[in-house]
Chain A
Amino acid sequence: MALLELKDLHVSLEDGTEIVKGVNLKVDSNEVHAIMGPNGSGKSTLSYAIAGHPAYQITQGQILLDGEDITETEADERAQKGLFLAFQYPHAIPGVTVTSFLRSAINAVRKAKNGAVDDPIPVPEFRTELFAQMERLSVSRELASRYLNDGFSGGEKKRVEILQMAMLKPRIAVLDETDSGLDIDALRIVAGGVQELIGPNMGALVITHYQRILNYIKPDFVHVFVGGKIVEEGGPELAKKLEESGYKEWEGVPA
């Protein structure tokens, strides 16, 4: 039984347009799967659907987490069970500091794990962990007391996404175009931060257009995603091939 399993997953927009057209995928802990595809192939739709965005309707198929069907559950329940989506465009929450948001999120997850009974993280433990993770991800201390993503640069947003991941310790991380908007130094830090989290406790699904993030987060499996479907699968060598020849080979394929 895989940690995350997509079974024949079909996803439509609210107007009925089908974007994801039957995806099968198994991701286990200690594994990195890359989903690579051109713009408009439905990559972001797939990541939103996995995380439980209400605007994306699963019309067919299933999402299983640890063998449990989570297809019908809300985003918060999925997160509480250990699913994490690093957003391509994280939203700003004015008036809510990064620290206060993180503590609330951690406590929400802890409460769910504790049978809906409050089990807040002790403040000293929270602070120690937060400062250690910020140090590791080169997030400046000053950012902790700023409002979440409010006026952050692209790089700061992405770092704070990974900081959230590091603090929430999910079992499955889905990264949606995490490399976009990052310069090479930032990419090294951010991707390196993810790579360190992958292990017996976490697997990752890295969704990307470009191969460059895979230099830092080494994929075990590469899935080529075109027209809402996985059209080819292979090992890390497939990513290199894509970098050289692009997606042309598959884009003519009728969906």
Chain B
Amino acid sequence: MTQTENEIVEGIGSDYAIKYGFHVAEDYFFKSGRGLSHELVDAISSHKNEPDWMRKFRHKSLDYFNARAMPNWGGALSEIDFDNIYYYIRPTEKQADSWEDLPADIKDTWDKLGIPEAEKKYLAGVGAQYESEVVYHKLQQSLTDQGVLFLDMDSALREHEDIIKEHIGTIIPQNDNKFAALNSAVWSGGSFIYVPKGVRIEMPLQAYFRINAENMGQFERTLIIVDEDAYVHYVEGCTAPIYSSDSLHSAVVEIVVKKGGRCRYTTIQNWSNNVYNLVTKRAVAHEDATMEWVDGNLGSKLTMKYPAIWLVGNRAHGEVLSIAFAGKGQHQDAGGKCVHQAPNTTSVITSKSISKDGGRAGYRGLLEVAHGAKGAKSKVVCDALILDDESRSDTYPTIRIDENDVDIGHEATVSKIGEEQLFYLMSRGLSEAEASAMVVSGFVEPITKELPLEYAVEMNRLIQLQMEGSVG
């Protein structure tokens, strides 16, 4: 362990309520009423001074949302009270590019979450979304000079309307699914990234999504375009206060990786246990491009999220690394999708799920090889670790192959932490909780080792908190 890691690890031991579960007073520039309507959509669009095509896009999307039935698979969605949600809150009038310019409560929140400090240490750019709007945004000057665009999505629509218009809703159509339709209707915030040809951004760009208000609905919309031979690593984190009633987070993320480019998208989802997290994420990878989703789901009441990669160019490569941890009262329905549409494309899906204290964690995945995608190779590995008899793990792998010349592997394991393993570790002085956490950390190590050090430490720390049962 390096010195830095030691310093970070020293934070271990506090719990969710203190670290993330707090909320501060609301002193907002604008807060919509509860509930969803065409009037609300108009209000959002007007607030943002949007072009007419976007206003129409939103209204059409709301129609799609209303017309679609609730999914009857995944998790229990029937308890979501759409009339009780606040769909749009604009906390500040203007976005800041200095933390000092934010209202004190909001700045304090970011300080507590450690974002300004992380920005100084290891990030190339930061977007910080609070409720519906990105209140702080900054990109290193050297990247701006190289033509990198990293803005919040609303600013991007104002400043680069043609690019947004060209791409929005093309990877994930507005009527793709009920929650993509909802997002398309009421979206606000999120990131827009464009990495020009050949530009490789070595340090990650990070966005952090924070819900503060009770019954908040957060609907950020992200679009990332990685041009030929370019590289970006985008990291998102999210937390929310603990409330007794529910909040809703429903994002849409669309990504295009052009020839020879590479995009890595890392999520550390740590919502409080009263947040429904229903997210659609999809990337298109062109010739020789690489798309990687690293998806850690530790929080939320219910998560339904299956990051997808459409491999449309020769030799495109896709990876989905997914961790789902379900504790008491949590259901993580996570997984990944890879669709091979071109020859010699390759993909790997690795899923690790852990369930504890009655939690339910599962893998739901799709592997599809289209006719003509000769020489496609794919490997799906899903491992589940169940920590007690009350907890549950599910695996729903769907495989559709319409090509003979393929190499496909699928492995699934389910295991429990053995009494003997725990005794072995405890006989060296580790407490039962420490020993269990160690076994679980080891179980997810194939994924955490892919994370930058700071995030690996954060992930292990969160797992440790989950093991202590102190989350939410």
Contact = CB atoms under 8 A, between A and B. Distances in A.
Interface in B408-432: 418-421, 423-432
Nearest to B431: A76
Chain A CB within 10 Å, residue with most, of B1, B10, B435, B442: B442
A178 to B, nearest CB: 15
A79 B442 contact: no
B244 interface: no
B426 A94 contact: no
Contacts of A147: 442, 445
A104 B438 CA distance: 9
Interface in B432-471: 432, 434-435, 438-439, 441-446
Contacts of B444: 95
Contact of B429 (A76, A87, A120): A76
Chain B CB within 10 Å, residue with most, of A76, A79, A108: A76
Given A94-B443, A103-B1, A118-B10, A108 B438 contact: no
A87 B10 CA distance: 31
A129 B421 CA distance: 26
B427 A93 contact: no
Interface stretch (A37-45, A46-54, A190-198): A46-54
Contact of A108 (B420, B428, B446): B428
Contacts of A112: 429
Nearest to A74: B426
Contacts of A118: 10
B1 A123 contact: yes
B142 interface: no
B78 interface: no
B1 A96 contact: no
A87 B431 CA distance: 18
Interface string A96-107: 100011011100
B6 A87 contact: no
B427 A95 contact: no
B3 interface: yes
Nearest to B435: A76
A112 B439 CA distance: 21
Contacts of A96: 438-439, 441-442, 445
Nearest to B443: A95
B424 A105 contact: no
A12 interface: no
Contacts of A226: none
A208 interface: no
A161 to B, nearest CB: 10
A118 B14 CA distance: 14
A52 B427 contact: yes
A204 B441 CA distance: 33
Given A95-B444, A96-B442, A168 B424 contact: no
A100 B1 contact: yes
Interface in A76-90: 76, 78-80, 84-85, 87, 90
A248 interface: no
A87 B428 CA distance: 11
B429 A164 contact: no
B10 A93 contact: no
Contacts of B443: 94-95
A112 B419 CA distance: 23
Contact of B427 (A75, A94, A100): A75
A75 B429 CA distance: 7
A168 B428 contact: yes
A55 interface: yes
Contacts of A108: 428-431, 434
Nearest to A103: B1
A3 to B, nearest CB: 18
A19 interface: no
Contacts of B434: 76, 104, 108
Contacts of A134: none
Contacts of B446: 95
A92 B427 CA distance: 14
A238 to B, nearest CB: 29
A38 B212 CA distance: 67
A123 B3 contact: yes
B429 A91 contact: no
B386 to A, nearest CB: 16
Contacts of A52: 423, 426-427
B445 A105 contact: no
B427 A51 contact: yes
A105 B430 CA distance: 6
A96 B420 CA distance: 16
Nearest to B444: A95
A75 B419 CA distance: 12
B3 A105 contact: no
Contacts of B6: 120, 123
Nearest to B428: A105
A108 B434 CA distance: 9
Chain B CB within 10 Å, residue with most, of A54, A75, A87, A90: A75
A93 B429 contact: no
Contacts of B2: 123
B152 to A, nearest CB: 37
- Ranked 4 nearest A-B pairs via Cβ: A95-B442, A95-B445, A79-B429, A96-B442
Given A54-B423, A74-B426, A96-B439, 14 more contacts: A52-B423, A75-B426, A79-B428, A87-B427, A91-B421, A93-B438, A94-B442, A94-B445, A95-B444, A95-B446, A96-B442, A101-B428, A105-B430, A123-B6
6 contacts: A53-B423, A54-B423, A76-B430, A79-B429, A95-B445, A104-B438
